[in-house]
Structures are given as C-alpha cells and as structure tokens.
Amino acid sequence: MTIIFGIFLLTLLLITAVAIVQTKNLFVAVMLMGIASLLIAANFFLLDAADVALTEAAVGAGVSTVLFLGALALTSEHERAPTSRAVLSFVVVTAAALIVIYATFDKPRFGAPDAPTQTHVAPWYLEKTPEYIDIPNVVTAVLGSFRGYDTLGEVFVVFTAGIGVLFVLAGGSGGRRAARSAANVGLSQHLIPRVVGRLLIPFIVLFGLYVQFHGEYGPGGGFQAGAIIAAAVILFALLEGEGKALNVIPRSVLLGLVAGGAILYGAVGVAGMLLGGNFLDYSVLADDPVKGQQLGIILIEAGVGSTVTGVLLSIFHAFAARDR
C-alpha cells in the first residue's frame, strides 16, 4: 500500500516538475513549486521521515513560496525568452539524467535490510540513544548530539545565506523607503482575511513553540519551528503591513536573532570545552551526563530556531523593503 501511494505521489511530482519547466509564467511556477514541496513532504511522511516531512512542508511549501512571491514582486511575472543555448543545456541535462539513472542501478532495493543505511551507524544510534541521551526521538538525538558538527555547519550555512541576501538586497539602492507606503497598508482593507489571520497567528506561534520544544519527544526541532514562527510573523506583515511587523520585531532584534542563535550554538560547544569535554560534547554540561546531553540539545535547538526565524524574516523584510 505504501508503495502504491509512493508511486502515485512521485508520479504527481514528476508531472508537477515538468509543468514547472514548461510554464513561462513565473507566478504559476512558484505555485507549482509549492505543490511539488507538499507532494515530496507527503512522500517523506510515507517513508516514516516525519521530521524531514515537517521541514519540507514548513520551509518548502510555506516560507519559500512567500519568499519567491516577494522576489517576484520585484521582477516581471513572465519568463524572458530563452537565449540560443537550448541545445547545449539539453545535452547537459540529458547526460546528467543518464548518469543519475545509471547510478540508481547500484542502489540497494527499497527497504532492503542489508542496505548500508540499515547496517552502518543507524543501529548504533538506535541502540545507544536511550542509554546516552534518553529521549524518544532518535532523529533529534542524531541531529543535535551525535552529528552536532553537521548541524552547526547547517546553522552557519543558513546564517551565511541570510547575511548574503541582506548584503545583495540592502546594498546599492538609495530609495529603499519609497515603496513603503504601499507595503504599509497590507490587507487592512480586506476584513475577512484580516480577522481570520489575526485569530490564527497566536495559534501558529504556539504551534511553532510546541514544535521547537517538543522536538526531543516528537517530530520537530529548531529548523521547523523557525520556519513556522517566521511564517506567523510574515502572515502578520501581510495582513497589517510590513511597517507594523517591523515595529513588533525591529531589524536590530532580527539581526540579534540571526547572530545570537549561531553564537548560542557555538557557545554551547565552547562551554563543553571549558568544562573539560570536547567541542559540542554536552555530557559535561550537567552533573549527570544524560541530563547534560538533554540540556545541550535544548540549547542548540533554541539557537537553531532563533537563527532560522531571524534569517527568514530578514530575507522577507529585505524583499518587502526593496524599491519596485
């Protein structure tokens, strides 16, 4: 049954992907990309990867669609006619596709018990998580503790991406405040979206906090929570106008969130070193190593959530504040 659903969803995904390439209207392409993200999220969920599915749904289908729309507002809705390199790109894409298809022949069968995924480090993680960290969600344990270096790297990638976007978008243009009057109105003329939106925003934030702090016990964590909370604030900005959202969370606070989250993550690692352990070894943070691990994971997840929220909101405001 899972296989049938999976093939169905992947077929839809293929159709959506072809439609994205085909369409010349960028607005349609953005909407289709949201649908593609939702389809792949459903597929992740079918494969029992609830954490990844949540991330994909929150970031791919939710926030990135809004960011794409924000970018689209700065440019034209229609794709420029392609230049004459069509043959070359077709050859490159076909060659790459053939290589990827050829590579799949070497992959183990779907769900094969002797696949490297099942035999390499995964059994060790599953076996040792209750002993070392004692939290039910092994994904969070792997992400936060066993592979803490990778997650630190991811946070710095998000951080760098945010700083990069801010540099590109905020630099250069002199009249950044000119378009603010239009953006400030938001949807305040439209009563129904406004009332329902205002009703929902507290619950979205609450759900974001739940995802953030329940990450040790269920699917969730800093990345998903950051995207959800950012989505709530973006919804507020769309309803009430971008200026009011900046009054609630000013740019300085956003930059503080972006940098503070990354610094918090690094500081937890350094604290481990100062207390006599290795970098990012949380066991020394408390008297009981297990409690120390749990404390460390909660702290670094808070750092991740803060950086992701800050970066997504900064990018949104950078788009919204641009001259048209």
Nearest CA to 16 out of 66, 53, 51, 60 is that of: 60
Query: Is residue 69 within 8 Å of residue 61, measured between CB atoms?
Result: no
Nearest CA to 165 out of 236, 287, 68 is that of: 68
**Pairwise CA distance, residues 120 & 110, whole Å:** 16
Q: Interface with another protein includes 200 (CB under 8 A)?
A: yes
Query: Is residue 31 within 8 Å of residue 69, measured between CB atoms?
Result: no
**Region near another protein per CB under 8 A, out of 12-20, 91-99, 192-200, 256-264:** 192-200
Count of chain residues binding another protein (CB under 8 A): 8
**Region near another protein per CB under 8 A, out of 38-46, 172-180, 189-197, 245-253:** 189-197
H helix runs in 214-288, sequence order: 222-240, 242-248, 251-274
Per the structure block, which two tokens stand in for 264? 């918090």
Closest approach, Cβ 192 to another protein, in A, equals: 5
Nearest CA to 268 out of 296, 301, 241, 238 is that of: 296
Closest approach, Cβ 197 to another protein, in A, equals: 8
Q: Interface with another protein includes 193 (CB under 8 A)?
A: yes
161 vs 200, which CB is nearer to another protein? 200
Per the structure block, which two tokens stand in for 201? 């925003």
**Pairwise CA distance, residues 197 & 190, whole Å:** 11
Q: Interface with another protein includes 1 (CB under 8 A)?
A: no
Q: Interface with another protein includes 260 (CB under 8 A)?
A: no
Choose which of 197, 221, 226, 272 interacts with another protein (CB under 8 A).
197
Neighbours of 324 (CB within 10 A): 9
Q: Interface with another protein includes 256 (CB under 8 A)?
A: no
Choose which of 199, 252, 287, 324 interacts with another protein (CB under 8 A).
199
Please name the residues in contact with 206: beta carbons below 8 A apart, sequence gap of 6 or more.
none
Q: Interface with another protein includes 182 (CB under 8 A)?
A: no
Closest approach, Cβ 47 to another protein, in A, equals: 20
**Pairwise CA distance, residues 260 & 263, whole Å:** 5
Closest approach, Cβ 55 to another protein, in A, equals: 19
86 vs 192, which CB is nearer to another protein? 192
Choose which of 3, 74, 157, 196 interacts with another protein (CB under 8 A).
196
10 vs 31, which CB is nearer to another protein? 31
88 vs 191, which CB is nearer to another protein? 191
Name the residue type at position 11.
T
98 vs 200, which CB is nearer to another protein? 200
**Taking CB under 8 A as the criterion, which residues in 206-225 touch another protein?**
none
Ordered DSSP codes for 148-216: HHHHHHHHHHHHHHHHHHHHHHHSS-S-TTTTHHHHHHTTTT-HHHHHHHHHHHHHHHHHHHHHHHTTT
Q: Interface with another protein includes 192 (CB under 8 A)?
A: yes
Mask: binding to another protein, 89-128, rule CB under 8 A, as x and -?
Answer: ----------------------------------------
Residue ranges in contact with another protein by CB under 8 A: 190, 192-193, 196-197, 199-200, 203
